[in-house]
């Protein structure tokens, strides 16, 4: 039975993110100073406030060709300074909705980003080491098939959950970081985003794009290009569950990534 995302990797990232977030939660003495230094900015206009996250994002990503990020309601950030994080906004609750064209454009920008290919290569390598899908075989041919499958799996799932269904259902595929409350409050908020999302009009709604989109993506990949032995309903359901679990973990990391990033930069000074 195949597992799209390795459980070992998920456990490693979860442990790393939880450890960093716990350290951040202990950094409460720094909070009052930050508020004082930010006080003058409260006099700025609403327009300036919505653009502030984009200014901070300009130094967050690796050199790239995404000058439109500051004007499309998306970001230019990268998780751990590497993985595309273009659909996450920090301290920007009041932003215009994305059009269907913008949703497809930002997902394409993320899915075909140069970083994604070594990432899929890494996942394919783990899959080969674990021989998770014996039908692919071993050797260069087996690795090539696993790499192609990992790339297709990720791309299809990204488009289904963040472009196709959000456009059809008029849901907002972006993750709006909370940044407020205790560690557990923010964790609860992040985890709940798998079930609850925003509509384009700003209301809360069941996240059908994630639930249905990931299920359809799992079905398409399972019954099309994966080994015949894996083309079962049970395996498709397993992949769907793994994908939803991985997306839940991703929301968790996205919520605390700004805090982790600030701590990393602070320690470098």
CB atoms within 10 A of CB 50: 17
Q: Give domain status of residue 218, yes or no.
A: yes
Q: Is the predicted pLDDT of residue 260 greater than 80, yes or no?
A: yes
As a whole number, mean pLDDT of residues 236-257 equals 92
Supply the range of the domain harboring residue 178.
73-268
Distance (Å, whole) CA 172 – CA 107: 13
Is the pLDDT at 238 greater than 70? The verdict is: yes
Task: Read off the pLDDT band of 159 (50, 70, 90).
Answer: very high
Give the total number of structural domains in the chain: 1
1 domain-assigned: no
43, part of any domain: no
Residue 20 resides in a domain: no
- Say whether 76 sits in a helix, a strand or coil: coil
Tell me the average pLDDT across 142-167. Answer: 94
Q: What angle do CA 73, 77, 217 make, to 5 degrees?
A: 75
pTM for this structure?
Answer: 0.74
Residue 66 resides in a domain:
no
Q: Tell me if 196 is assigned to some domain.
A: yes
- Kindly state the average pLDDT of the residues 207-234: 92
Does residue 55 lie within any of the structural domains?
A: no
Question: Which pLDDT belongs to residue 33?
Answer: 43
Q: Is the pLDDT of residue 137 over 80?
A: yes
d(CA 253, CA 197): 17
Task: Specify if 11 maps to a domain.
Answer: no
Residue 221 contacts residue 232 (beta carbons within 8 Å): no
Mean pLDDT along residues 247-269 = 89
pLDDT number for residue 16: 52
Nearest Cα to 250, choosing from 119, 127, 143?
119
**pLDDT 10s digits, 69-103:** 444 588 899 999 999 999 999 877 678 899 999 99
Per the rule left: phi > 0, alpha: psi between -120 and 50, beta: everything else, 51 is alpha
Residue 195 in this model has a pLDDT that exceeds 90 = yes
pLDDT band at 183 (very low <50, low <70, confident <90, very high): very high
């Amino acid at each position: 039975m195949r597992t799209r995302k390795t459980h070992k990797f998920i456990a490693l990232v979860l442990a790393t993110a939880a450890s960093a977030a716990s350290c951040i939660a202990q950094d409460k003495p720094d909070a009052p100073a930050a508020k004082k230094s930010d006080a003058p900015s409260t006099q700025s206009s609403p327009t300036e406030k919505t653009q502030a996250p984009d200014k901070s994002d300009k130094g967050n990503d690796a050199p790239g060709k995404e000058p439109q990020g500051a004007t499309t309601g998306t970001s230019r950030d990268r998780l751990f300074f590497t993985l595309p994080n273009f659909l996450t906004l920090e301290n920007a609750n009041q932003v215009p909705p994305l059009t269907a064209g913008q949703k497809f454009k930002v997902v394409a920008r993320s899915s075909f980003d140069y970083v994604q290919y070594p990432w899929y290569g890494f996942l394919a390598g783990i899959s080969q080491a674990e021989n998770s899908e014996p039908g692919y075989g071993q050797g260069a041919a087996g690795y090539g098939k696993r790499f192609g499958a990992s790339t297709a799996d990720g791309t299809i799932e990204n488009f289904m959950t963040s472009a196709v269904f959000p456009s059809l259902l008029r849901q907002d595929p972006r993750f709006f970081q909370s940044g407020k409350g205790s560690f557990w409050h923010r964790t609860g908020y992040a985890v709940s985003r798998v079930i609850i999302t925003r509509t384009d009009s700003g209301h809360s709604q069941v996240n059908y794009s994630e639930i249905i989109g990931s299920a359809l993506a799992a079905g398409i990949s399972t019954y099309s290009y994966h080994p015949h032995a894996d083309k079962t309903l049970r395996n498709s359901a397993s992949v769907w569950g793994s994908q939803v679990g991985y997306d839940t973990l991703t929301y968790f990391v996205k919520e605390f990534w700004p805090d982790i990033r600030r701590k990393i930069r602070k320690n470098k000074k």
